[in-house]
Structure 1
């Protein structure tokens, strides 16, 4: 697995493609809610099944995960975190979150907040996130807010 910070149009397209598969197609989130007006303010990440290149040759590995990070009031907000169905349970989500947390530290912040779907709360808890809210609905899906100090 390889997580990259999005630096070009193809990588952004790959991130959006996996987000669309997971959130829009699998979870029935409306496309207009999935892609929002905060995209341009975010640092995007895409995770590939393998390294995309060997030397200078692009081997075209498929995207299997994505997420975005925004700076908000002195902390990093992790959003739109997703892993393809066939890559779940492989450590891919942990790997993606570790890379996003490293970027938060590089940005000079030591706290990451996120809104987790309630079914994913145990995953984030294992990574050190703590629940900071009551349950609420986002795009019709139950969520809780969580925070981790890095």
Structure 2
């Protein structure tokens, strides 16, 4: 498994292809919500398994924290450590700039984020019709 910061146009296309499969096709999130105005300001991440794109995410900096967004892993690769490796890479990059990471987790993924050190600090809210909770983690 190879987790990296997106640096090339092909890596960006691969990241979008994973996001499209997970969010737009699997979860039925409208494309205009999934691909938004923050793409250019974000640091993007891609995960490969033998050159096959299997996971993606983006990181944005807001105020005094990093925000993990669009974290996704293809269905056939879930529960195999891909998400944990992806989050660890994002946290390593983020802690060069901030001490806290935040994210809005779909409620079904809340146990995963808790397992890797995130704490829930909101009630359930809906984004794109999907229930979420806000979570955060101290990096340093």
TM-score (norm 2): 0.98
Could you tell me which residue of structure 2 aligns to residue 109 of structure 1? 98
Runs ≥4 residues deviating over 3 A: none
Determine which of 121, 131, 137 is the counterpart of 1:142: 131
Deviation at 1:74, TM superposition (A): 1.0
SS in 2 for 1:40: coil
**Structure 2, unaligned stretches of length 5 or more?**
none
Could you tell me which residue of structure 2 aligns to residue 7 of structure 1? 7
Q: Within 5 Å, give how 1:12-91 maps onto structure 2.
A: 12-50=12-50, 61-91=51-81
Deviation at 1:105, TM superposition (A): 1.1
1:93 aligns with 2:79: no
Q: Distance in 1 between matches of 2:127 and 2:116?
A: 22
**Structure 1, unaligned stretches of length 5 or more?**
51-60
Q: Distance in 2 between matches of 1:2 and 1:105?
A: 20
